Structure 1
Amino acid sequence: MADSIAILILAAGSSSRMGDEIKQLLPWKNSTFLGHAIAQAKQVTDSTYVVLGANMDLIKRKLPQGTSTIENPNWKNGMGSSISIGVEYILKQTRDLDGLLIMTVDQPLLDAEYLNEMIANFKTKEYKIVATSYGKRAGVPAIFHKSMLKELISLHQDYGAKHVISENIAQTKMMSASGKEIDIDTLTDYHNIIN
């Protein structure tokens, strides 16, 4: 277990492109998207937190027991606000943190094996950020060194972690997730991945 690493799962969005479906609760591997993300994260560290916003009460009822949740009342402001609130909360809970891994709820192919690979790269201490490669760009999942957490707290709009990564690209190691990085934004995406 990587106890000096905490994981923040971003799950506050309203899934507006999903019609009436709540993305976090879409069925996936005998669980849901969010349940699966939590299970993968918990295989890596006990310090796992979930940011919720839209449909929070409904989602909370479906979470595995003992899940640490953080409420983002400003979830409509976008991913940056969830990161900011989440990082601030985690820093109040945890003193000895080397890094924070940020992941989203809508990448169901990501697994504990990939997250552990990221952490192994981070622990070499060669880079302040280890991020997932999207061609020439980098994004989440990504691990940020503790020295970068204040920068993440300053995110209040819909910039997200990609903004911090691109500002610090020289200190970033990009990793290939070998196709596991696919994110599910629409019901068509979802049906394609389950078929």
Structure 2
Amino acid sequence: MAILTALVVCPEHGKIIINTDSQAVINSFYKSKNLHSISPRRFNKINNNILWSSIHHIIKTLSLQVKFIKVKAHSGDQFNDIADIQAKLGRTQPTPTTILHDHLPNQTITLNWNEEIPLDKDVRKCIGTILNYRQLDDHLNHPSLKIIKDSTKSKLIDWALSSKWFHFNGRNDTTSSLHTKDLRWRTRCSTLTLPTLDIMN
């Protein structure tokens, strides 16, 4: 986003030099430079493809020459430090920044989740993440956990102590199969899913 907001205010035919401590940003910029020549399938596997489409569209529209210079992180570069501070402040904003992408020439296909959030990453990974959240939500709302949720609301559970109990390893070997069985037993105890006779019947 920092690159996008910087380029938006640049004059036409400008020569822009961007200092960044992120090699990943530089690599993604050059990787996404020829968006018009790659297939929609490969395009939708590029992370933040809406952002990169917008950046390259601005560069082309304003006829900009953009050059990246890699600087060392936390090296005292004044403008890089300012950018880091602004990025951290941006993460705390309650209203997310939305990029209008319907007019972008390279953005021919954009899937929206819940008719609201555009998926601008690898679709398979996004769907996997969504399903993981759904499974977690289903698990937390399972009837067998109601007593735990009620006890949590009533502050009857010491979660700090519970965490120590979960992570305690009495086997002195992190790769022990017996330690794995211990963890499984603790999980089943805490979720009331031990195969006891009353549950099995």
Q: TM-score, structure 2 length as denominator?
A: 0.25
Give the strand-richer structure, 1 or 2: 1
More helix by share: 2
Larger radius of gyration: 2
Give TM-score scaled by structure 1 length. 0.25
